Amino acid sequence: MKIRLENVVKTFETFRAVRDVSLEIESGELVALLGPSGSGKTTILRMVAGLEYADGGHIYFGDQDATDIPVRDRGVGFVFQHYALFPHMTVAENIAFGMKVSKVKREKAAIEARVVELLRLVRLEGLGGRFPAQISGGQRQRVALARALSVDPKVLLLDEPFGALDANVRHDLRRWLREIHRELGITTIFVTHDQEEALDLADRVVILKDGHIIQQGTAEEVCRNPQSTFVMKFLGDANVLAAEVRDGRAYASGAAIDVSGMADGKAELYARPADLDWSAQGPGIPASITRVLDRPDGRRVLATTETGELLEFDVEPERPVKAGEGGFVTLRRAKVFAV
Amino acid sequence: MRRNVLPGLRLSLGVTLFYVGLIVVLPLAALVFKAASLGPEDYWRIVSSSRALASYRVTVLSALGATVFNLFFGLALAWVLTRYRFPGWRIVDAMVDLPFALPTAVAGIALTALFTTNGWFGSILADLGIKVAYTPLGIMIAMCFTSLPFIVRTVQPVLEDLDPALEEAAQSLGGSDWQIFRKVILPLLTPALLAGVSLSFARSLGEFGAIIFIAGNQPMSTEITALLVFIRLEEYDYQAAAAIASVLLIAAFVMLALTNWMQSRALRYTVRG
């Protein structure tokens, strides 16, 4: 099912949560709405679901205007942030609920068969008789997904699906959700504030800020070509250096980079930690190490330049660096934004 | 004993146990002791006298009626107070506690004045051929009045804590409002409703002050058990009073045990394992 949002607006009392958002989601696409809290991402998801009504604009499901269709008739599967499993029902009863209350009458045996099938899909065979309080967070998340899928929704909507889980469980579930999506091919939108989750999982990432869409595209597009300092900063750690553009080159305390086509003037230079190198001899930006953080995949170095700017970069795990050491930072690549 | 971070367990436990013993257990034990001093035949004769039986009947039936009424009305009131905000909400919320705060005799006199055949309500109802004052219906109304807060105040906090996402989830799965109420909300409220019902019923069984004015107190028809106990006391027949009171005590205990058992069944799903 293709979904189209047209100039959608939503205001809560005086807070303008969503301002004039237009967005198209192709049938079978897996899209992430990514943004900090208050960016309107959850509100957009809830409006697509029909849990909130838009104050202005239209939402189309295929060719049908779904703007005013109530949630129970909209045919969406919604997975809530904290799962919202019915605590007094067993796992199997939770999954069967949608089929039992449906206007389409089903045979009892057919419902049971479908519950077994869904339990197998979410790999919870044999746990149908447990209550939600008796299973782990990751298992609850999968029950919530099975329950949402039980009504054969046209669209699957997930609100911060992995927000409340441990890092390890989160990683596995992410991969698993991707598999399920490939298997079912259902149009899926999920909301997250975790860039890594959005980039790993989605076909397309829609980045939101203050109720606006700031940028959208594949993970590659938004990572390689961020169009604003906000996107640059939000997608991951970034070092910022004051710079000046002259004759197609940006100069920042001891480093220079080619920016042909950019107008002369003041600018900011952004570089990822992996875009910086550290060497004992110049040329480069003179800096001294203030702290070394050891991580499983390398060493993160925090350094201060002579002009007092803070830099973060990574070196190989076996590289002997110590706090207090001086040296030079060189730029492998960077993004320059005019200010 | 396991070491505990919080200090003062022994002292506070000692003080509270002593207090409970002194204020709750001792009087009840004295009552049982007094009743037991009668001997089985006398005891049975007193508690099964036709006047006593008639009083149990009117008390229990009225209490049941009042409790059932409060179950529905109290739930509706709790629902409105948690789900909607309207002008005067605070006043209505505060008024729910009024039956607790008011001396029951005051309530009894007020109700009697309203429901006698020349009172405001009573005169209208009399035209319709309904007599409230000095009938079991009047007893029921007085019981309703004094026990209403129990259901409202036990259900209200549970309703307030109910995660709105549960209802949204049920809606997104296609449930109608009625299906959601019956299959999702009501089962989650059941333990609180049961707690409210048992308190409300127990209170109604023992209510005295609010009832005696409106009941008319005709032996065999509108005489409640608590009043019969009082009458026996007035006659200095302490043993008979204790015997009849012990029946009330047993009824209250049975009711509490029953609802506790039902509650633990309704809360089965919270047990981890």
Q: Please check whether residue B242 lies inside any domain of the structure.
A: no
Q: How many residues in chain A?
A: 339
CATH code at position B179: 1.10.3720.10
Segment B147-154 mean pLDDT: 93
Provide DSSP, A75-132.
Answer: -EEEE-TT----TTS-HHHHHHHHHHH-SS---HHHHHHHHHHHHHHTT-TT-TTS-G
Which residues belong to CATH 3.40.50.300 in chain A? Answer: 3-232
Segment B106-115 mean pLDDT: 90
Question: Which of A320-324, B34-38, B126-130, B181-185 ranks highest by mean pLDDT?
Answer: B181-185
- The residues with which A299 forms a beta bridge, in sequence order, are A294, A315
- The residues with which A187 forms a beta bridge, in sequence order, are A155
Q: Please check whether residue B125 lies inside any domain of the structure.
A: yes
Q: What is the pLDDT of residues A188-242, one digit of tens each?
A: 999 999 999 999 999 999 999 999 999 999 999 999 999 999 999 999 999 998 8
| Alpha-carbon gap: A98 to the closest alpha carbon of chain B (Å) | 5
Q: Please check whether residue B252 lies inside any domain of the structure.
A: no
The pLDDT score that the predictor gives to residue A96 is 96
Does the pLDDT value for residue A278 go beyond 80? yes
Ramachandran class of B250: left when φ > 0, alpha when ψ lies in -120 to 50, beta otherwise = alpha
**Residue B149's pLDDT band (boundaries 50, 70, 90)?**
very high
**Residue A167's pLDDT band (boundaries 50, 70, 90)?**
confident
Tokens encoding A182: 């490939």
**What Å distances lie between residue A108 and A111, A131, B42, CA to CA?**
5, 21, 60
Does the pLDDT value for residue B6 go beyond 80? no
The pLDDT score that the predictor gives to residue A323 is 87
- Residue A211 phi/psi, 5-degree rounding, is 80, 5
A71 to chain B: closest CA residue: B172
Q: Where does A3-232 sit in CATH, by number?
A: 3.40.50.300
Q: Does B85 touch chain A (CB under 8 A)?
A: no
**Residue A251's pLDDT band (boundaries 50, 70, 90)?**
confident
**What Å distances lie between residue A114 and A72, A148, B241, CA to CA?**
20, 13, 64
**Cut 0.95: pTM above it:** no
Which residues belong to CATH 2.40.50.140 in chain A? Answer: 237-338
Q: What is the pLDDT of residues B41-62, one digit of tens each?
A: 999 999 899 999 999 999 999 9
Q: Does A89 touch chain B (CB under 8 A)?
A: yes
The pLDDT score that the predictor gives to residue B19 is 94
The pLDDT score that the predictor gives to residue B1 is 54
Quote the domain boundaries for residue B169: 57-218
Q: How far apart are the first and last CA of chain A?
A: 42
Testing the interface with B: which of A69, A79, A83, A86 to mutate, by most B Cβ within 10 A? Answer: A86
Q: Please check whether residue B234 lies inside any domain of the structure.
A: no
Tokens encoding B49: 């006298």
Q: What is the SS3 assignment for B69?
A: helix
What CA–CA distance (Å, rounded) separates A220 from A198?
12
- Counted domains in chain B: 1
**Residue B34's pLDDT band (boundaries 50, 70, 90)?**
confident
What CA–CA distance (Å, rounded) separates A107 from A113?
10
Segment B256-265 mean pLDDT: 87
Q: Does B265 touch chain A (CB under 8 A)?
A: no
Contact assignment for B165 to A72 by CB distance below 8 Å: no
A134 to chain B: closest CA residue: B272
Contact B196, B154 (CB under 8 A): yes
Testing the interface with B: which of A13, A42, A88 to mutate, by most B Cβ within 10 A? Answer: A88
| Alpha-carbon gap: B25 to the closest alpha carbon of chain A (Å) | 36
Comparison of pLDDT for A104 and B178, the residue scoring more: B178
- E-strand ranges in chain A read 3-12, 15-25, 30-34, 56-61, 64-65, 76-79, 155-159, 187-192, 204-209, 212-217, 239-246, 249-252, 255-258, 265-271, 276-279, 285-295, 298-305, 310-315, 326-331, 335-338
Q: How many residues in chain B?
A: 273
Give Cα B75 distance to the centre of its chain: 14
| Alpha-carbon gap: A4 to the closest alpha carbon of chain B (Å) | 20
Q: Please check whether residue B44 lies inside any domain of the structure.
A: no
Contact A223, A199 (CB under 8 A): yes
- Alpha-helical (H) ranges within chain B are 9-20, 26-36, 40-47, 50-83, 89-95, 98-101, 104-115, 120-127, 136-161, 164-172, 177-180, 186-206, 209-215, 225-234, 238-266
Does the pLDDT value for residue A84 go beyond 60? yes
Q: What is the SS3 assignment for B54?
A: helix
Q: Picking from A49-53, B24-28, B75-79, B116-120, which range would have the lowest pLDDT averaged per residue? A: B116-120
Q: Please check whether residue B130 lies inside any domain of the structure.
A: yes
- The residues with which B53 forms a beta bridge, in sequence order, are none
What CA–CA distance (Å, rounded) separates B109 from B213?
6
Q: Does B161 touch chain A (CB under 8 A)?
A: no
Testing the interface with B: which of A72, A104, A131 to mutate, by most B Cβ within 10 A? Answer: A72
Asked if residue A273 has a cis previous peptide bond (ω within 30° of 0), the answer is no
Q: Mention every residue, 6+ apart, whose C-beta is less than 8 A from residue A170.
A: A162, A197
Tokens encoding A315: 């070196």
Q: What is the pLDDT of residues A21-52, one digit of tens each?
A: 999 999 999 999 999 998 999 999 999 999 99
Q: Mention every residue, 6+ apart, whose C-beta is less than 8 A from residue A275.
A: A239, A313, A331, A332, A333, A334
Segment B20-46 mean pLDDT: 89
Q: Does A161 touch chain B (CB under 8 A)?
A: no
The percent of residues above 90 in pLDDT, for chain B, comes to 54
A131 to chain B: closest CA residue: B269
Segment B234-239 mean pLDDT: 91
Give the mean pLDDT of chain A: 91
What CA–CA distance (Å, rounded) separates A44 from A211?
9
Contact B62, B136 (CB under 8 A): yes
For A237-338, CATH number out of 1.10.2020.10, 2.60.120.380, 3.40.50.2000, 2.40.50.140 equals: 2.40.50.140
Q: Please check whether residue B36 lies inside any domain of the structure.
A: no
**Residue B2's pLDDT band (boundaries 50, 70, 90)?**
low
Contact assignment for A131 to B269 by CB distance below 8 Å: yes
Does the pLDDT value for residue B272 go beyond 70? no
What CA–CA distance (Å, rounded) separates B253 from B255?
5
Does the pLDDT value for residue A282 go beyond 80? no
The pLDDT score that the predictor gives to residue A169 is 84
| Interface subset of B 162-191, CB within 8 angstroms of A | 163, 165-166, 168-176, 179, 183-184, 187-188
Comparison of pLDDT for A236 and B7, the residue scoring more: A236
The pLDDT score that the predictor gives to residue A164 is 76
Give the mean pLDDT of chain B: 90
B263, amino acid identity: Q
Contact assignment for A84 to B165 by CB distance below 8 Å: yes
The DSSP symbol for A193 reads S
What CA–CA distance (Å, rounded) separates B155 from B248?
26
Tokens encoding A41: 């991402």
Does the pLDDT value for residue B230 go beyond 80? yes
Q: Picking from A36-40, B30-34, B264-268, which range would have the lowest pLDDT averaged per residue? A: B264-268
| Alpha-carbon gap: A255 to the closest alpha carbon of chain B (Å) | 53
The pLDDT score that the predictor gives to residue B215 is 87
Provide DSSP, A267-289.
Answer: EEEEE-GGGEEEESSSSSEEEEE
Contact A238, A271 (CB under 8 A): yes
Q: What is the pLDDT of residues A292-339, one digit of tens each?
A: 999 888 899 999 988 888 999 999 888 888 888 888 998 888 899 988
What CA–CA distance (Å, rounded) separates B206 from B63?
9
Q: Please check whether residue B214 lies inside any domain of the structure.
A: yes
Contact assignment for B175 to A101 by CB distance below 8 Å: yes
| Alpha-carbon gap: B169 to the closest alpha carbon of chain A (Å) | 7
Q: Is residue A295 packed enough to be buried (19+ CB in 10 Å), middle (13-18) or exposed (0-12)?
A: exposed
Contact assignment for A133 to B271 by CB distance below 8 Å: yes
B164 to chain A: closest CA residue: A84
The pLDDT score that the predictor gives to residue B127 is 86
What CA–CA distance (Å, rounded) separates B255 from A286?
82
The percent of residues above 90 in pLDDT, for chain A, comes to 64
The pLDDT score that the predictor gives to residue B65 is 95
